[in-house]
Amino acid sequence: MMKQDTLPPAADHQIVTEFEQKYDVYWSLDSIDWNETDTVKINTKGQLIAINTSTLNSTTLINNLQDCKINLSKYTNDSLRIKIDGFNKKTIYLRVSDSTVLNKLLDCLLVWSSFKNFGIFNKLIYYQETLSSDQSIIYENVDDCKYSDNKISQKVNIKILTDGLLRIYSTEEEGQNALLKSIDVRTILESQIDKLLGHNVKGIIIYSNEREGEELKLQFISMADYTKVWELLYKFTIKSYYSNKNEKIENYLKLSHSFKINIIEAKLEPESFEGDFSYYCSIQLSEDLPTNFKTTTLSNYDVLDNSTLFWRESFSCDKSVNIDTLKLNLIKINNETQHCNTIGSAIIYLNKLTDIKSLQRLPLKSEDSTNNQIGDICFQVEYMKKNILINSMDPYKNFEKNLKNTNMSDILSYITQRTSNLTHTELIEISVPLIDAFQCLGKENSWLQSLMNYEIMNITVKLKSTDNASAIINTIFRGNSLLTISTEYLFNMTGKIYLVETMRSVITDILNTNEVIELDENRLRKTYQGKTNKSMEELISDNKLKLSYWVEKIWKNLYTTIEKMPIEIKKALKSLKTSLEEILISQINVDRGTKEKIILNSISSFLFLRYLCPILLNPNLFGITNKIPNENVRRTLTLITKVLLHFSTLTHFGNKEPWMLCMNDFIDDNNDDLHNFIDKIVNTSNNSDGNGGNIKSTVDFYEPTSLDLTEFNLIGVDPNTLESNFYTIKKCFKYTDVINLLVTFMLNEDREPSDHIPMSNLSMSTIMSDIPFEINSESCQQFHNDNTGTLSSLKRHKLILNENATEVELASIHDTYSSSHSEIGNMSILLNSASIVHTKIKSLLNTTFQLEYPSASLSRLDPYFIKLTNSTYINKHDSLYIENNPGKDIKTKNYFQLQPFEVKNIPLNSNKYVKCITDAASSSPRSKASRFSRMFLGATSNAPDSEQTSNKIGKWLRWDRH
CATH number at residue 303: 2.60.40.150
Residue where a domain stops, chosen among 126, 154, 184: 126
For residues 326 and 347, is the Cβ–Cβ distance under 8 A? yes
pTM (two decimals): 0.78
**pLDDT of 522 higher than 50:** yes
- 140 and 53, same domain (yes or no): no
Q: What percent of the chain has pLDDT over 90?
A: 23
What is the chain's Cα-based Rg? Answer: 33
Task: Pick the most confident of 199-203, 424-428, 925-929.
Answer: 424-428
Which residues touch 871 (CB under 8 Å, ≥6 apart)? 114, 882, 883, 884, 886
pLDDT of amino acid 271: 81
- How does pLDDT run across 314-348, given as a tens digit for each residue? 888 888 888 888 999 999 999 888 888 999 999 99
267: left (phi over 0), alpha (psi -120 to 50) or beta: beta
**Banded model confidence at residue 91, pLDDT cuts 50, 70, 90:** very high
- How does pLDDT run across 356-408, given as a tens digit for each residue? 778 999 999 998 777 789 999 999 998 788 888 888 888 899 999 999 999 99
Q: What would the DSSP string read from start to end of 678-705?
A: HHHHHT--TT--GGGT---SSS-TT--S
CATH number where 68 lies: 2.30.29.30
Residue 719 domain flag = no
Residue 729 domain flag = no
Which residues touch 249 (CB under 8 Å, ≥6 apart)? 2, 127, 391, 721
- 95 and 147, same domain (yes or no): no
Q: Of the ranges 23-37, 133-147, 550-564, 566-580, which one carries the lowest mean pLDDT score?
A: 133-147
Task: Pick the most confident of 103-107, 713-717, 762-766, 956-960.
Answer: 103-107
**φ, ψ of residue 16 in degrees (nearest 5):** -125, 105
**pLDDT of 893 higher than 70:** no
Residue 173 domain flag = yes
- Average pLDDT value for residue range 241-255: 87
pLDDT of amino acid 948: 31
- 316 and 353, same domain (yes or no): yes
C-alpha to C-alpha distance for 692 and 349, rounded to whole angstroms: 46
Residue 482 domain flag = no
Strands 253-268 and 373-390: antiparallel
Residue 297 domain flag = yes
**pLDDT of 609 higher than 50:** yes
Q: Of the ranges 53-57, 67-71, 330-334, 340-344, which one carries the lowest mean pLDDT score?
A: 53-57
Please report, as a single letter, which amino acid is at residue 319.
K
- How does pLDDT run across 431-453, given as a tens digit for each residue? 999 999 998 888 988 899 899 88
**Banded model confidence at residue 290, pLDDT cuts 50, 70, 90:** low
Total domains present in the chain: 4
pLDDT of amino acid 347: 93
Range of the domain at 303: 253-388
pLDDT of amino acid 273: 84
- 507 and 545, same domain (yes or no): yes
**pLDDT of 951 higher than 70:** no
pLDDT of amino acid 128: 79
C-alpha to C-alpha distance for 795 and 749, rounded to whole angstroms: 9
Query: In whole angstroms, how far apart are CA 776 and each of 60, 63, 86, 783, 851?
Result: 17, 13, 12, 11, 13
**pLDDT of 301 higher than 60:** yes
Strands (E), 162-248: 165-170, 179-184, 193-198, 201-207, 215-220, 239-242
Residue 782 domain flag = no
Residue 198, Cα to own-chain centre: how many angstroms? 19
- Average pLDDT value for residue range 133-152: 81
- 524 and 587, same domain (yes or no): yes
C-alpha to C-alpha distance for 286 and 323, rounded to whole angstroms: 7
Task: Pick the most confident of 142-156, 334-348, 788-802, 899-913.
Answer: 334-348
Residue where a domain stops, chosen among 360, 388, 416: 388
Nearest to 903 by CA among 927, 937, 855, 870: 870
Residue where a domain stops, chosen among 388, 422, 448: 388
- Average pLDDT value for residue range 674-678: 93
**Banded model confidence at residue 588, pLDDT cuts 50, 70, 90:** low
pLDDT of amino acid 896: 57
- 536 and 612, same domain (yes or no): yes
- 106 and 147, same domain (yes or no): no
**pLDDT of 542 higher than 50:** yes
CATH number where 649 lies: 1.10.506.10
- 189 and 293, same domain (yes or no): no
Strands (E), 320-408: 325-334, 340-349, 360-365, 373-390
Q: What percent of the chain has pLDDT over 70?
A: 72
734 or 215: which leads in pLDDT: 734
**Banded model confidence at residue 789, pLDDT cuts 50, 70, 90:** very low
**pLDDT of 697 higher than 60:** no
Give, for 879, the enclosing helix (H) or strand (E): strand 879-882
As to burial, measured by CB atoms within 10 angstroms (0-12 exposed, 13-18 middle, 19+ buried), residue 773 is middle
Residue 406, Cα to own-chain centre: how many angstroms? 30
pLDDT of amino acid 960: 31
- How does pLDDT run across 455-511, given as a tens digit for each residue? 888 877 777 777 766 666 666 777 888 999 999 998 988 888 889 889 999 999 999
- Please write down the HEC assignment for all residues of 285-333: EECCEEEEEECCCEEHHHCECCCEEEEEEEEEEEECCCCCEEEEEEEEE
- 35 and 76, same domain (yes or no): yes
- Average pLDDT value for residue range 137-166: 86
Task: Pick the most confident of 123-127, 483-487, 755-759, 875-879.
Answer: 483-487
- 209 and 270, same domain (yes or no): no
Task: Pick the most confident of 197-201, 467-471, 477-481, 713-717.
Answer: 477-481
- 328 and 367, same domain (yes or no): yes
pLDDT of amino acid 29: 92
- 72 and 177, same domain (yes or no): no
**φ, ψ of residue 181 in degrees (nearest 5):** -155, 140
pLDDT of amino acid 867: 64
For residues 612 and 644, is the Cβ–Cβ distance under 8 A? yes
pLDDT of amino acid 646: 93
Residue 932 domain flag = no
- How does pLDDT run across 925-949, given as a tens digit for each residue? 333 322 222 332 222 223 233 333 3
C-alpha to C-alpha distance for 676 and 672, rounded to whole angstroms: 6
Q: What is the mean pLDDT of the chain?
A: 76
**pLDDT of 594 higher than 70:** yes
C-alpha to C-alpha distance for 307 and 266, rounded to whole angstroms: 8
Query: In whole angstroms, how far apart are CA 138 and each of 164, 165, 574?
Result: 10, 11, 42
pLDDT of amino acid 900: 36
Residue 330 domain flag = yes
